[in-house]
A and B are shown apart, each in its own frame.
Chain A
Amino acid sequence: MKNLYKIKLRIIMVAGLLTLFTSLWAQERIVSGTVTDENGSTMPGVNVLVKGTSTGAATDVDGNFKINITDDQSTLVFSFVGYATSEIIVGSRSVVNIQLTPDVQTLTELVVTGYSVEKKADIIGAVSVVNSKELLQTPTANLSAMLQGRAAGVISSGGGAPGEAAKVRIRGFSSFNGSDPLYVIDGVPTTDANRVNPNDVESIQVLKDATSASIYGSRAAGGVIIVTTKQGKAGSMSINYNGYGGMTYVPKSYQPDMLNTSEYAQYLKLSDPTANHPLFGIQGDINTNSLPDFYVTSPSLKAGFAAGAAEVDPSLYTIEDYSSIYQITPVSAGTNWFDEVTRNAGIQNHQLQASGGSEKVNYSVSFNYFKQQGVYVNSGYKRYSVRVNTAFKPNKHIRIGENFQFSNESFQNATGGGARGEASAWAQSFRMVPYIPVYDIGDANGNLGWGGNGIGSSGNGTNPVAQLYRDKNDENLNYKMFGNVFAEVNPIKDLTLRTSFGVDMGTYFSKDLVIKTYERAENTGTTALNQSTSYNLNWTWSNTLNYSKTFGDHTVKLLAGVEAIKQNIGDGITTQNVNTFDFEDPDFVSLNTDQGIGQNSSSTKGQLRTLASTFGRLDYTFKDKYLFNATLRRDGSSAFGKQHTYGTFPAFGLGWRISQESFMQSISFISDLKLRGGWGQLGNQGPVNGRNQYTTFGSNAGLSNYDINRTQNSLAIGYSAFNASSQTTKWETSESTNIGFDASILEGKVEVSFNYFNIDTKDLLVGQPPPPLGGLLSQPAINLGKMRNRGFDFNITNRGKIIGDLDYDVTLTFTHFKNTAIDLDGNPATFFSGNASRLNNVWRTQAGHPISSFYGYRLDGFYNTQAEVDALAMDGAKVGSWKFRDLNGDNKIDDNDKAFIGSPQPKFIMGINLGLKYKAFDFSTFLMWNYGNDLFNYTKYWTDMRVFVGGVSPRVLYDGWTPENHNATLPQLGSGDSDGYTTFIRANSNDYYIEDGSYLRGKTFQIGYTIPSDLASKIGITRARIYVQGQNYFTITKYSGPDPDISIQNTNNSELNMGLDNAAFPNPRQFLVGLNLTF
């Protein structure tokens, strides 16, 4: 029966493929064959058995076997230590070749959790394990950007700027002020994922619920990501090289459509027919669309001219003296600024690692070089890092070692190239009008000047190519050191004492040279040099005691520990020198080489915060079936006042390995099934400033000095409060409940892990609103309100063979959560509002709705007739303008008609990783499906709303309301009474900006070829694999902006302001070639 069942399953597994079974009559004969391993090497000593008989054989040194069978229905069973047992029906064959696959028994895998290591089978909490091999398929410098879609319950979104971190959230949002997960790298906590070179990562575990994470107490509310780096293994010595190189670019399809010059002239003609446009109005005629060939920009002359006119004689050209330029610029037929600012940029990564060890010592030393050019010209990122992990074991009872990484990273032009917002290169590309070219005609020696909008009436954008060029020497330079030293002693059997001292330090330097301009509408008149430097030094000292003992059916594990953490964000210095550089050569410009005036410097005061903690955990297992776990952590923080210095965070969990019960043994297809549940509390103090409980005072000449002695000629120095304090502020607390199961089906071929969760966060930390007469006093954080995140996540892994040598594995991760603000301050009408840079009240966070919901008016067609204008009052309403929806029926549009028009939070996120392997070839692809969120396409404010003069979308010209066409997208394009773009429409958030942000993206595909080992060994290589890879190779989305992957990204650095596309740096497409070598 069992056999039959397996056969059925096999048939299902190869659905779509035809498998033939032929039954022949009984006949005793000899069958021979060869057994090979997963790499195609022959395997000696494999046991071969005819199923149901005692007939058996073993393979010889070349992997060959011979065996007698009685009939064609005979089944051969192949088994070997460390490999999955395999059965094959012989059929009519006389030769049976088989490839064995390594036994994957994930439930016996070891998982690193808080301060200890556990068998996966014993884990009760919600823990996701991320496969580091899959992780590294994302070619980026920052670990946080690799996590997207890789673990159930983890939500991540990031831009494509080189070295940029992604925003990572675990199971929704646990705080109003950012709930970054805590990264614990080799036992040392940090909130910066970029403290580790991803190539050094051995494994990643994500602790998602209280049962698993509350051992980290007050910093675990955002979840904990445990990172373990690669260690050497005893008895081996190998050198690995892993590298790739390739190209990244922004596909044409990401660019928004813009009007070209002749269309722009038509647009001007319609929108402002009487205007004396400086370009078209003098030599060109706006009404006949005859465009000038050149335009001249000088203090006394700004106009367009035909070629050959006296005014465009090249000998007049000069930009030598910026105050009296005479610039002659050819009128462009339509500059595609997006093409001009982007490029095909290179990316390369080289990782060299030596590792190995003996019984007494193991080591792993690696060097990494990563370089990525930005897809914006003159920007990029570079990192060198070195890691040394060693452990010494002089005897069985003592281990001493260290894990350290030192890295140096530099960003070129991070502010110009990587910045979001209206000053970024992407935004300038749609803010520039099309008739301006990148360069003017230049001087007699062929030195080109920058094209710009100094002509006037062409907006206040800046030539982004010029901006990127001028900023090419701006850099951010960081040196970081991260790691720990540790010692472990076993004073008695089963007891381990461990002490670990970890350091997280860095120094940060930035240089920004602001160079004078001449070509803009709004020029920078002075040259300035800004330099700043700062540092941080954090240390963590943990001392733990682990005791583990099995008494008969009872297994007990105890953990107790103390930990001290000091976070020192050091003082920083910012200096600026404005105005007086005679030269702009970066080798010349320094703070000391100016004319001696315009220098100022200031310091940013550092912040100190300490944490003292005690914690303990008990794990109890009975008969390997019933699991119990309890955790308690007590944290004391220097950020809170005396009443709330300490916070206690308990958690417990229960597990039942139901598959171990006798009544489950008959269900043979379930190899392992564990039901589990847990409850606990987690804390957060992240948003609290280290000075929160103290009022600070200072002296400031402008604010606190006063002529109190009435001398009328001198000021007495005074002191005033700088920031107010709060003694009552306390920990933000998340109460987390998790119920789930882990199942392993068909001997590990299918693994499922499912979790349902409910997380209620109370006492949310927010900045206290300043009192109306509070002046400039900055306010402390206080506690307010309650929020809920509820949902489920699961992952399914399925692996096996499709047919013959074709292996596959599929992993699916799925995350669904629903976030709701339950209460803010007791009054259901209270809300937090958020503004985009030019558009107010775009977001609203209010009880009963997801945080960071989009808020505004709903479009309700157009005012088609004067009668419709009379019937519904709206500020500035006229025929041909948009009509907003009158929700309450009072025949007028006002604040009462605004509604929650969308939410940036996705309904679900799904990641699918598919791997195929055929002999020496392997293929893998990773797909991301983000469903059900809205995005606020803020680009439309600039390109469609005609607020600022600049680039214009074709929708404005071709899809506007006209008396004939009422079925339009935008209001009437016209002037005066026929201009449908009213101030009210332009100034208010509405659902024209809201778009569906769902997308399905091919994140990665990789095709690899492993050189046969016998060939490789001839040239002294143990293993060699080459691969080609594509990144972001397709995206299916309705979103009209460049990149929908901005769902949970913040604006204004606030968790309550998510999902606004503020000229985000699009995730570029990448193609790579890579090489893995092992010696």
Chain B
Amino acid sequence: MMRKFTYYLLAFFTIFFVNGCNEEDVSSPPSSSFTVDKTTGLSGDTEFTFVVEQVNAKAIALLPLGQELSDGSVLISSFVDGKATIKYKYNKVGTFNAVVVTSNYSSDGEEIKRSYSTPISITVTSDKKEISAFTFPTSTKTVITQPAKTIVVTVPFGTDVTALKANFTASPFTSVSVGSTAQVSGTTLNSFASPVVYTVTAEDETSVSYTVTVIVTAAETDNTIKSFSATAISKSLASKAIGSYIDSNLKNVVLLIPDGANAEVKDSLKVSYTLNGAFAKLKLGGKVLKQDTLLNLTASKTLSAEAQDGTADDYDLIAAIAPKLSLTFAVLNPEVSGTNSDFNIGLNVLTGTTINSIVTTATITAGSGVTVTVMEADGNIFVSGGSVDYTEPVKFTLTVNDTNLGVVYEVVYTATVTVL
């Protein structure tokens, strides 16, 4: 019986394969032909016009550089009256065997057949000879004047102009030389103490000369600190970003630790900074202070900010625990107290509350020997019990005199009122 079964199976498989067989046959396409309006021209300049004959093939492509090189090949997707016109500019020099390839392939891409047309030989030359870019590794500015063939390069203060390697870009297929020395971009050393003449020779052997002049900029004098901040490492304030107050008159940098933090956080602060002068340096103990240096600021440290020209100012770097500002709206019923998060104070009031003028009670909490001398709200002198407009977040600036540290600084709290 099993044998009988086999016959049924064979019969049905025959039906199946008759039904299921749909392998595509890929035939060789006919080869196309093409014409071109000229067979010589200049690279990047002369436009060649190819006219390609349509044939019955799945794909027809023009290969202007021949079969061996891929640049510029054009897949022709539309023919008009059995012809397609392709305009092409060569960007290489040499002699090329332009050819048209016709392809047939199966839709699953497994099988391909191709035919090639008779090639046409095309010769391309070049007369371009231009320097389009000229820099040194440290140069800050380059001005190239093409009609006058002059190049002026600016380098920073302190650059040794007697031994510089120039990076330049010249037109393709050219050679560049100074006197009789061939020049390689980024490699050849020259002295630019006086102007240097660069000669560019084109592929067609015509040449042109550029004069290169180097100007050294004067030294920078700015030695001010733009910003200074720190990251606490200690557990109670781990990873907390700490801002600073920079006093450029008294030459102080005060890192502002929010009130409530244990004083021991001062012993491990990872500091970072920016300076206004591009070539200025900030030094600690005669060495450049690296970014993200871990410092113990239990006692203050002296930093030296040094400009490029050597002028320097000493700054005291002090970590201070800032007084805490607490805000209360006692006039509202129920009374609203702010919630402090570092130097931000959030206050939630009920819907319907007029917030453009709220009588505000301010309470300062500060360590002994620390006093707040002036308080300002958005730049206006503020005294506890005064009214404040909270339609936008309000900045409360406290001028603090810390007699323990012997420093005066400002700390800013931002108060935001949210209507629930």
Q: Which A residues lie at the B interface, using CB under 8 A?
A: 9, 12-16, 299-300, 321, 323-324, 749-750, 752, 791-792, 794, 796, 798, 800, 810, 812, 814, 816, 818, 848-849, 857-858, 867, 870-873, 885, 887-892, 894, 896-902, 907-908, 932, 991
Contact = CB atoms under 8 A, between A and B. Distances in A.
Q: Which 8 A-B pairs have the closest CB atoms?
A: A899-B109, A888-B59, A890-B61, A13-B1, A873-B70, A889-B103, A891-B70, A889-B101
7 contacts: A15-B3, A800-B1, A848-B107, A857-B109, A891-B70, A892-B73, A899-B106
B75 A890 contact: yes
Interface stretch (B233-241, B320-328, B382-390, B401-409): B233-241
Most buried by B among A9, A750, A816: A816
Contacts of A323: 238-239
Interface stretch (B8-16, B120-128, B305-313, B371-379): B8-16
B108 A889 contact: no
B239 A888 contact: no
Interface in B1-40: 1-5, 8-9, 12, 15-16, 19-20, 22
B12 A885 contact: no
B19 A891 contact: no
B238 A899 contact: no
Contact of A324 (B101, B114, B238): B238
B16 A816 contact: yes
Q: What DSSP secondary structure best describes chain B's contact surface?
A: mixed
Nearest to A713: B391
Contact of B75 (A752, A872, A896): A896
A887 B103 contact: yes
Given A324-B238, A900-B108, A888 B61 contact: yes
A901 B108 contact: yes
Contacts of B4: 12-13, 750
A934 to B, nearest CB: 10
A888 B103 contact: yes
Interface string B65-97: 001111101110000000000000000000000
Contacts of A810: 5
A892 to B, nearest CB: 5
Most buried by A among B1, B59, B69, B101: B1
Contact of A889 (B16, B59, B69, B109): B59
A873 B71 contact: yes
Contacts of B2: 13, 15-16
A887 B105 contact: yes
Contacts of B3: 12, 15
Most buried by A among B63, B107, B110: B107
A750 B58 CA distance: 51
Given A889-B103, A891-B70, 19 more contacts: A13-B4, A14-B1, A15-B2, A16-B2, A324-B238, A752-B8, A818-B19, A818-B20, A857-B109, A885-B109, A887-B105, A888-B103, A891-B69, A892-B73, A894-B75, A896-B75, A901-B108, A908-B16, A932-B20
B114 A889 contact: yes
B174 interface: no
B101 A890 contact: yes
Nearest to A10: B1
A856 to B, nearest CB: 9
A800 B2 CA distance: 11
A855 to B, nearest CB: 10
Contact of B20 (A816, A849, A858): A816
Given A12-B4, A324-B235, A890-B59, A870 B70 contact: yes
Interface string B41-77: 0000000000000000011010100011111011100
Given A321-B235, A888-B103, A12 B70 contact: no
Given A816-B20, A873-B71, A796 B8 contact: yes
A379 to B, nearest CB: 36
Nearest to A849: B107
A871 B67 contact: yes
A831 B120 CA distance: 39
B295 interface: no
B108 A871 contact: no
Contacts of B68: 867, 870-871
A1063 to B, nearest CB: 27
Contacts of A901: 108-109
Contact of A872 (B15, B19, B61, B70): B70
B70 A324 contact: no
B189 interface: no
B67 A890 contact: no
B400 to A, nearest CB: 29
A870 B103 CA distance: 20
B109 A858 contact: yes
B331 interface: no
Given A791-B19, A818-B20, A908-B16, A889 B70 contact: no
Given A858-B110, A870-B69, A900-B108, A12 B1 contact: yes
A299 B101 contact: no
B5 A796 contact: yes
Contacts of B364: none
A750 B4 CA distance: 10
B112 interface: yes
Contact of B108 (A13, A749, A899): A899
A299 B109 contact: no
Contact of B67 (A13, A891, A899): A891
B102 interface: yes
A792 B15 contact: yes
A896 B59 contact: yes
A896 B59 CA distance: 9
Contact of A300 (B101, B109, B233): B233
A16 B3 CA distance: 10
B20 A907 contact: yes
A900 B22 CA distance: 14
A112 B67 CA distance: 69
B173 to A, nearest CB: 17
A753 B341 CA distance: 79
Contacts of A902: 108
B156 to A, nearest CB: 30
A65 to B, nearest CB: 29
Contacts of A812: 5, 9
Contacts of B8: 752, 796
B61 A891 contact: yes
Contacts of A299: 238-239
B71 to A, nearest CB: 7
Nearest to A814: B12
Given A324-B239, A890-B101, A798 B1 contact: yes
